[in-house]
Amino acid sequence: MRRVLAVVVLLLGAAIGSAGAGEGPAAAGADTKRVVARVNQVEITFDDFQQRLQMLQQQRGPIRPEQFKDIVGDMVKEELLLQDATAEAVGQDAAVQAKLEQARRQVLIGELLRRKVIVPSQITEEDVRKMYEENKPLFSTETVRVSHIMVKTAEEADAILKELQEGKDFAELAKAKSQDTGSAEKGGDLGELRHGQTVQEFEDEAFRLKPGELSPVIKTQYGYHILKGGVHSSVVQPYDEVKGQIRKSLLQKRQEETFLAFMAELEKKAKTEIFEDQLK
């Protein structure tokens, strides 16, 4: 199955890369056949330029009008090279012809997949919203409220931990002795932490602690810490934060399903044979 999915990704990638090439609408009322450059009697039209512009925008994003001349300049260079390759009869070489045939096959397959797989697999906003509403637990993030006291040496931390174990107030000791000035004035309170917001050793201990529980002294790159656990909860990520991720996941799944169904249909109608003994 993994190999099948790898083939799906490869073929769909080629199809997506070629999807829409040559379909860019010209400006309203424009003469798309007007000549924008000429190279040894070969004309480059506005329509040629529009197709190239759309392809580049798919690859790079928006292109400013002041860059249009550079695009045409590149098309001129390409035409010069093509004309010289033709004059040198490069296309008569057997290896080159094999590469051209392979390219032709890929373009045809890519266009077929665009029509049969990519176009029918579009994901709507309703699809994305439904996935989110029906699977909110998948988009929840665990949080924990935690306080800490940070000092520079292990000896200081050990002494503070002993005081805490003897009943001293955590918030008061944090205000008096923590060297994390941002949290010290709030009694060591760091607020709610999510996974990935702090260094791993600190995060592991924070999420392990029960509310009110003290940690042993832990060392990070910032110093030595004593943590006090707080309430554990979870927060559902807002729709706008995850809709892009959902759309991508749904699109990939739908394209894979459509591709596999399309291939199954082709294989059912065809008669194919593989002669393994001839591969030795």
Tell me the whole-structure pTM to 2 decimals.
0.61
Q: What's the pLDDT band for 28 if we cut at 50, 70, 90? A: very low
C-beta separation of 193 from 144 below 8 A: yes
Confidence (pLDDT) at 137: 87
Tell me the per-residue pLDDT of 127-165, one tens digit each, with 9 for 90 and over.
Answer: 999 999 999 988 988 999 999 999 999 999 999 999 999
Average pLDDT, the chain: 90
Which residue intervals of the chain bear CATH 3.10.50.40?
137-236
Tell me the per-residue pLDDT of 204-248, one tens digit each, with 9 for 90 and over.
Answer: 999 999 999 999 999 999 999 999 999 999 888 899 999 999 999
Confidence (pLDDT) at 31: 75
Q: In this predicted model, which residue has the larger pLDDT, 202 or 25?
A: 202
Tell me the per-residue pLDDT of 41-90, one tens digit each, with 9 for 90 and over.
Answer: 999 999 999 999 999 999 999 999 999 999 999 999 999 999 999 999 99
C-beta separation of 148 from 228 below 8 A: yes
C-beta separation of 217 from 226 below 8 A: yes
Average pLDDT score over residue span 266-278: 93
The Cα–Cα gap between 156 and 228 comes to 17
List the Cα angle 42/44/49 in 5-degree steps.
Answer: 160
Residue 100 above 60 pLDDT? yes
The Cα–Cα gap between 223 and 146 comes to 17
Query: Of 201, 199, 195, 159, nearest to 177 (Cα)?
Result: 159
Q: What's the pLDDT band for 13 if we cut at 50, 70, 90? A: low
Q: What is the helix (H) or strand (E) element at residue 142, kind and residue range? A: strand 140-151
Classified by CATH at the fold level, domain 137-236 comes out as Chitinase A; domain 3 (3.10.50)
